[in-house]
Amino acid sequence: MAKVAAKPVRIVVAKVGLDGHDRGVKVVARALRDAGYEVIYTGLRQTPEMVVDAALQEDAQVIGLSIHSGAHMTLFPAVVDELKRRDATDIVVFGGGIIPDDDIAALKKRGVAEIFTPGTPLQEIVDWLRKRFPEQTRKP
Amino acid sequence: MWQEEFEASPSRDDGLETSTISGIPLQPLYTTADVPRREEELPGRYPYTRGIHPSGYRGRLWTMRQFSGFATAAETNRRYKYLLANGQTGLSVAFDMPTLMGQDSDAPTSRGEVGHCGVAIDSLADMETLFDGIPLGEITTSMTINSPAAILLCMYIAVAEKQGVPPSQLGGTLQNDILKEFIAQKEFIFPPSPSMRLVVDSIEYCAREVPKWNTISISGYHIREAGSTAAQELAFTLADGMAYVDACLERGMHIDDFASRLSFFFDAHIDFFEEIAKFRAARRIWARWMRERYGAQLERSWKLRFHTQTAGVSLTAQQPELNIARTAVEALAAVLGGTQSLHTNAMDEVLALPTDRAARIALRTQQLLAYETGVANTIDPLGGSYFVESLTDEMERQAEAYFKRIEEIGGVIPAIEAGFFQKEIADAAFRYQKELEQKRRIVVGVNDFTVDDEEPIEILRIDPRLESEQAGRVSEVRRKRDGAQCTNALNRLRKAAAGTDNLMPYILDAVRAYATEGEIMQAMIEVFGTYTETAVV
């Protein structure tokens, strides 16, 4: 199918790691859907390999990761590395959760595009995506 | 007339909600007209709206029980000794994610998780280190663990044996509340039915062998933190409680043999009066159901005892010092609601596990409430308040309406499988988030009163080397133990799991043989299988 300007951005939203705290990921998923994105929520306890599989299968341009267990320094870069391994570095990775400031800088260096911490307005996440994908936001 | 004067007065008109944080509409004023006439309620008397003890906190203050655990058993053991030396009166163990999910520190999916949000426990050897030098016959311990709860309880019993303390002397609480895992926190492993069997096994075993142990802490905390309203927290938690009662009765136990060992765990959120009303309503509803529906004869079976934790979800990463004030208000609500024990969150818990300093301030907040403010001197001081009594009744009404809906779906487990609770909670969470976005509710420092440049606060870091060290420890345990004894114990457990025996003695044997938590879980998974939820957004 020819690429059209109005093609909505597809986002795979995933909980990586072992924790089951899915309040944040669900709220963000709904907000992104309301903002016109196509959102695929993978559910809990996804390994980096499973997340990348889902993103490739769903033809997603974006992966949104959520974690609350403190394992972000291991698992977020692992998703980025898996994308590299699968030659899919065009997929943008962002994340959210209980993540201290120092770690945010380190994660960005490791290839995570953006980190949203507790208290971030949903609109801020939507605005960030609109900036990244200016032409492709709304459903046709 | 007051009403006319009120309506003629200017109103604030700032667009803020005047309902409770859960959305219960509030009147500007409550009077005698809002409270129905009822027989005088007294503390220590059925239905215990005003408290379960006739002496309130005059007889005994609440237990100050700070939930803590991080990194290795040795480091957490040091923190426990520090907290006990600072006047804490009970222990409360936080386990790391692999332990909570029943897997060993060297499992591939434990990568990056070991020791991060709690202490890593793989086998009895770690548990021995965790409680080294802490006399288990003299303190009480709460353990927050669910799917593998039976295993950790057996480890505790086994450590006590080594200290020469018989199980009959052990006091403490096991969270062991699997239903709220399916509903909210999602740390499930087995499907609902074998999960419930393990819960009932532990309740039945403890009623006989560990009679002072609170075998389950039926938890609203996680339901609330996942985004529910106060009324949903109340209703879903008590509905879970009744489901456990039903399961125990089905096993053939007598209500009065286990009811008094059921305990509860609630959230203390930031909407002050709503929380107090919730606690009061919880006691009244439970007492009525236990006495009237279940026919419990003993008074102690009617009394709802609960632990409270201040609301983690109310804390803000922005201007985190403000969390000290939030936590103080929430803790006060718990105390005025008559809690039996309390955990106050540390200001930095929205960023990481607490530092020593932040943990001490959190504990000191409770001591300040207990010893400085005078609030413990009068029992249920808000009893008789037109507003609080009316709100207590409203909580009760809303909870009863939910019980009806759950019953219509066919009970708690069918409602879980239908995604009923999960959707109610997700809807409430989304509604609240929208209210914040629209500034119909204010969180100070987040959507108003913000500052641009915040100074970072000191946070606790977990050494990344810990994971491989802990993995080394667990393989050493595997190397040193009697391999045949361990394998035999696991085989016996597997066989028993396929039958109907109470599994506790089999798990205890495997624990004593230094089988790891992951190995014991695996033996049961081979029989029970695992559960995957259908994710709904």
Averaged over A99-114, what is the pLDDT? 94
B354-384 tens-digit pLDDT: 888 999 999 999 999 999 999 999 999 999 9
A52-70 tens-digit pLDDT: 999 999 999 999 999 998 8
B253 touches chain A (CB under 8 A): no
Say what the pTM is. Answer: 0.94
Q: Domain residue spans in chain A?
A: 10-127
- What single-letter DSSP state applies at residue B202? H
Q: Where does B96-145 show beta strands of DSSP type E?
A: 140-144
B447-483 tens-digit pLDDT: 999 998 888 888 888 888 999 999 999 999 999 999 9
B321-352 tens-digit pLDDT: 999 999 999 999 999 999 999 999 999 988 88
Averaged over B132-150, what is the pLDDT? 95
Alpha helices in B64-121 (DSSP H): 73-85, 97-100
Helix (H, G, I), strand (E, B) or coil at B294: coil
Does the domain at residues B45-437 carry the CATH identifier 3.20.20.240? yes
Averaged over B222-245, what is the pLDDT? 98
- Predicted confidence at residue B43, as pLDDT, reads 98
Within 8 A of A29 by CB-CB distance, chain B residues are 537
Q: Domain residue spans in chain B?
A: 45-437
Q: Sign of torsion, CA B172 B176 B177 B181?
A: positive
d(CA B504, CA B315): 39
Indicate the CATH number of A10-127 among 3.40.50.300, 3.40.50.280, 2.40.30.60, 3.40.50.150: 3.40.50.280
d(CA B410, CA B416): 10
b/e burial code for range A20-31 (CB count within 10 A of at least 16 → b): bbbbbbbbbbbb
B285-325 tens-digit pLDDT: 999 999 999 999 999 999 999 999 999 999 999 999 999 99
Q: Sign of torsion, CA B13 B17 B20 B24?
A: positive
- Predicted confidence at residue B462, as pLDDT, reads 83
Asked whether the beta carbons of residue B113 and residue A69 sit closer than 8 angstroms, the reply is yes
- Predicted confidence at residue A140, as pLDDT, reads 46
Q: Per residue, what are the HEC states of A8-32?
A: CCEEEEEEECCCCCCHHHHHHHHHH
- Predicted confidence at residue B88, as pLDDT, reads 78
The mean of the pLDDT values for chain B is 95
**Position B69 confidence tier, pLDDT thresholds 50, 70, 90:** confident
**Position A119 confidence tier, pLDDT thresholds 50, 70, 90:** confident
Q: Above 80 in pLDDT, residue B202? A: yes
- Predicted confidence at residue A1, as pLDDT, reads 44
B532 touches chain A (CB under 8 A): yes
- Predicted confidence at residue B429, as pLDDT, reads 95
A21 touches chain B (CB under 8 A): yes
Q: Above 80 in pLDDT, residue A7? A: no
DSSP letters along B428-473, please? HHHHHHHHHHTTSS--BTTTBS--SSPPPPP-----TTHHHHHHHH
- Smallest CA–CA distance, residue B239 to chain A, in Å, is 21
Q: Write out residues 408-427 of B within 8 Å (CB-CB) of A.
A: 425-426
Asked whether the beta carbons of residue A26 and residue B537 sit closer than 8 angstroms, the reply is yes
Averaged over B150-178, what is the pLDDT? 97
Within 8 A of B188 by CB-CB distance, chain A residues are 20
- Predicted confidence at residue A137, as pLDDT, reads 54
Averaged over B486-507, what is the pLDDT? 98
B380-419 tens-digit pLDDT: 999 999 999 999 999 999 999 999 999 999 999 999 999 9
- Predicted confidence at residue A103, as pLDDT, reads 93
- What single-letter DSSP state applies at residue B95? B
- Predicted confidence at residue A35, as pLDDT, reads 94
Q: By percentage, how much of chain B surpasses pLDDT 90?
A: 90
Q: Point out the residue among B112, B350, B351 whose CB comes nearest to the CB of A71.
A: B112
